[in-house]
Amino acid sequence: MRTTQDILDAQPQLHRDGKGGFTSWTLPKEVLFYIDRMVDDTSVTLETGAGVSTLLFALKGAEHTAIAHHPDEIENVRRYCMTHGISLERVDLINNRSEFALPNLPKIPLDFVLIDGRHAFPSPFVDWYFTVDRLKIGGIMLVDDTNLKTGQILKEFMSVDHRFELVKEFDNTVAFKKLETDITLFEFDRQPWMLVRNAD
């Protein structure tokens, strides 16, 4: 497998459907092509959740970390890569809850983060909290499922905050560029989102 289109054409089924079979909760095609454009073999990347996106980060040769919490999902990704000629040499596949794994990872600066793990409150915020300060200035924070309230709040928080620039918007996915450091150090009265929402 050589290209993103190859992966799309193969329609990998890496997730469990809850009835003993397989399915795919993949990101939409246009989001996968966005990752394809933004990531290369110089990129240091991290995603919460795993699946087709993981195959893509691996294919692009990124130094990548994927964290997913499912008994056999990580194994499915590993097996798929082995049988389809996708190298995992530069990929760290972590089978754990991201809220437990993320705080213990080395604080290596990141070029690109994908938040697409557990969508229940407060998981996307926890994932964001433990990755946003590792993101380099100019790095991309891609948040999926902005149709859900948790993703919607994350999107809204960054949209009104001058420390981020909205650079790409899809139906249910949004990408922000980070513009400043020390994002999590601001007290509430310096967070634009808190100032806006508290005044509502």
Ligand X SMILES: C[S@@+](CC[C@H](N)C(=O)[O-])C[C@H]1O[C@@H](n2cnc3c(N)ncnc32)[C@H](O)[C@@H]1O
The residue from 26, 76, 146, 150 that contacts ligand X (CB under 6 A) is: 26
141: exposed, middle or buried (Cβ count in 10 Å: 0-12, 13-18, 19+)? buried
Site string for ligand X, 137-176 (x = CB under 6 A): ----------------------------------------
Residue owning tokens 């249910």: 172
Q: Tell which residue, 121, 180, 130, has the closest CA to residue 151.
A: 121
Kind of pairing between the strands at 44-48 and 63-68: parallel
Q: Give the three-state DSSP class for 21.
A: coil
Examine residue 69 and tell whether it contacts ligand X (CB under 6 A): yes
Examine residue 73 and tell whether it contacts ligand X (CB under 6 A): yes
CB neighbour list of residue 78: distance below 8 Å, 6 or more residues apart: 88, 93
Examine residue 35 and tell whether it contacts ligand X (CB under 6 A): no
Residue nearest to ligand X (CB): 51
Token digits of residue 143 = 């948040």
For residue 55, the minimal CB distance to ligand X (Å) is 8
Helix-helix angle 29-38:52-59, to 10 degrees? 20
The residue from 67, 81, 91, 132 that contacts ligand X (CB under 6 A) is: 67
The residue from 115, 116, 155, 183 that contacts ligand X (CB under 6 A) is: 116
Kind of pairing between the strands at 63-68 and 164-169: unpaired
Choose the stretch contacting ligand X; rule: CB under 6 A; options: 36-44, 47-55, 84-92, 129-137: 47-55
The residue from 27, 59, 91, 154 that contacts ligand X (CB under 6 A) is: 27
Binding site for ligand X (CB under 6 A): 25-27, 48-53, 67-70, 73, 97-98, 116-118, 123
